[in-house]
Structure 1
């Protein structure tokens, strides 16, 4: 597991500056417009509700665009990530936008230890995060530990069924990867990241894991969380299946052919009992 984290951290440290410079992350728009929110957060505005005054933490916050968006909605935000380069960009963005956000460098598995137990009203995790974690149980344990009694987890993530599909197959939905959590990672070797950039990566090897919906929910229940909402979506914020999807005006990608065949992402909410 340590080797996997080291490989992934090197990869994300390289991605950070490229993502901050890419128009896809809209950094200049954030700076120019105090009301601007990330497309990921805007998608879930009807589900988030009023978060003004809540103390929140964004786990696996990357360069902080979603974290900043939640702060602009009135939450007192912190962000946690294992990539020092990502947090450097997050600090720059928050400072340029005049927002006071605390960013902490640590693994999600150490989140409760470094941030304090029962410290938050809201734990937020954005899309494209859980697949970098080998064990969902340790994630759920930290989520529950971070929350005050009655505090809420808000999670939007790529659907685990989507994660089983061969993204290189452009004529069909073909399952090639595990649905359930597996000790051995899915190993990828890719010199490119997912934003518009002319630069290739040197740290090309990454390790990922899938986690079934049942595994995620069961882990949360085990640590004293109560599921309050689960909504599956026919869209997600990136072209996960090239050649089979189209981009909508809302910044979300959807299948061109019979989109009801496949859940692409989901939003899950749970409350800490106590």
Structure 2
């Protein structure tokens, strides 16, 4: 597992260099005041006055967007040293470093890497596939939350992964692949990356077994990102794929809360 971790760290270091220059992430627009958050999470979350932990934050655009949305403090954690260095630089440039901090490390070690407990633990879009073990991940989330605190995840639906040729059900087996990235400037940039498939039942069960109470599970027939093949923008900012004319589930969101006692 340490070898897999090292492979993914190198892969995401390489991706970070390309993503910082991509139109997909539009760093100049972000620096000018644009949010990186999408309609799903903006509609479902109120972060005003909350202390937020963002797991697998990449180079911190969503983390800093939540700071702009009124979070009292934001902490981002990511595996890639280059991503964390970029996040710290961006926070300083935006003068948000007084309430934003970033930590480099394995998400499964988050409880040891960050201090304190949080009102909200957040993660989004393309994160679960990099996790070998959802049980440990869910327990880590629960340990990072204050009593009464909330976990929120917006993620690509595992049905989409199935149609793209991956397992739907968790097998425990790693997929080791070489390929590019999802941004327009790096589709041909070859990196080795290691991923795992996770099904919806596994996810929900892991959160419940970690002691969290599921409050909502929503499914969406669109992706807010044009980051897969076979997508059509049927409405502005809503990308769909259809199977025999019917839209497939593209994204889901889940909210879970840590009991007060």
Residues 61-115 of structure 1: CA deviation (Å, up to 9, x unaligned): 0011111111111111000001001111111221222212100001011001111
1:11-50 to 2 correspondences below 5 Å: 11-33=11-33, 36-40=34-38, 42-48=39-45, 50=46
Aligned to 1:218: 205
State the TM-score, normalized to the length of structure 1: 0.88
Instruction: State the Cα distance separating 1:127 from its structure 2 match.
Output: 0.6
Divergent runs of 4+, >4 A: 256-261
Stretches of structure 2 lacking an aligned partner (at least 5 in a row) = none
Instruction: State the Cα distance separating 1:26 from its structure 2 match.
Output: 1.6
Aligned to 1:160: 158
Aligned to 2:51: 55
RMSD of Structure 2 on Structure 1 (CA): 1.9
CA distance in 1, matches of 2:13, 2:189: 10
Q: Using a 3 Å threshold, how does the CA distance of structure 1 residues 116 and 98 change in structure 2: closer, same or farther?
A: closer
Aligned to 1:7: 7
State whether residues 227 and 269 of structure 1, in contact with CA within 8 Å, keep that contact through their aligned partners in structure 2. yes
CA distance in 1, matches of 2:234, 2:107: 32
State whether residues 39 and 251 of structure 1, in contact with CA within 8 Å, keep that contact through their aligned partners in structure 2. no
Instruction: State the Cα distance separating 1:237 from its structure 2 match.
Output: 3.3
State whether residues 67 and 79 of structure 1, in contact with CA within 8 Å, keep that contact through their aligned partners in structure 2. yes
Q: Using a 3 Å threshold, how does the CA distance of structure 1 residues 71 and 231 change in structure 2: closer, same or farther?
A: same
Q: Secondary structure at the match of 1:206?
A: strand
Does structure 1 residue 91 correspond to structure 2 residue 78? no
Instruction: State the Cα distance separating 1:178 from its structure 2 match.
Output: 1.5
- Larger deviation, residues 68-77 vs 178-187: 178-187
Residues 109-145 of structure 1: CA deviation (Å, up to 9, x unaligned): 100111146x100000011111101111111010000
Matched residues, number:
257
State the TM-score, normalized to the length of structure 2: 0.92
1:175-254 to 2 correspondences below 5 Å: 176-190=165-179, 192-197=180-185, 201=189, 204-239=191-226, 241-242=228-229, 244-248=230-234, 250-254=236-240
- Larger deviation, residues 86-95 vs 52-61: 86-95
